[in-house]
């Protein structure tokens, strides 16, 4: 999936999180971190605890690299904004943190 502009301005908890939100969040983390998160949520799906924990884990690996506060496992609008802010920050700095070198056998910058 290609990078999608994060939504970081949710204003209240009454805003429903959609399949599009989950696909964008997962897709952006996959784009940045190659985590293999699911990107095919539909409006009929319910995100499992395991899927949500994987999203948080991928987000927090990025947050740690950037020395940003980690995301919690809450599904509040504030935490969703934070998750997408972390992804946006890494996307902006991404070229400074290449995941792999030109030599496929070893990482240029180990994680």
Query: What domain range includes position 91?
Result: 19-96
36 domain-assigned: yes
Q: By the 8 A CB rule, do 79 and 72 touch?
A: yes
111 domain-assigned: no
13 domain-assigned: no
23 domain-assigned: yes
Digit-coded pLDDT (tens) for 5-64: 999 999 886 678 899 999 999 999 999 888 899 999 999 999 999 999 999 999 999 999
- Pull the structure tokens for residue 83: 């998750």
12 domain-assigned: no
Helix axes 77-93, 49-65, angle to 10 degrees: 50
Give the other-Cβ count within 10 Å of 55's Cβ. 21
Q: Which residue has the tokens 């605890």?
A: 49
14 domain-assigned: no
Q: By the 8 A CB rule, do 59 and 83 touch?
A: yes
90 domain-assigned: yes
58 domain-assigned: yes
| Domain count along the chain | 1
């Amino acid at each position: 999936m290609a990078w999608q502009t994060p939504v970081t301005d949710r204003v209240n908890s009454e805003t429903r999180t959609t399949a599009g939100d989950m696909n964008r969040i997962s897709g952006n983390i996959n784009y940045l971190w190659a985590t293999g998160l699911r990107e095919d949520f539909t409006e009929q799906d319910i995100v499992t605890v395991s899927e949500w924990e994987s999203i948080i884990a991928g987000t927090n690996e990025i947050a740690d690299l950037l020395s940003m506060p980690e995301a919690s496992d809450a599904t509040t609008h504030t935490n969703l904004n934070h998750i997408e802010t972390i992804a946006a920050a890494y996307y902006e700095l991404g070229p400074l943190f290449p995941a792999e070198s030109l030599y496929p056998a070893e990482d240029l910058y180990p994680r």
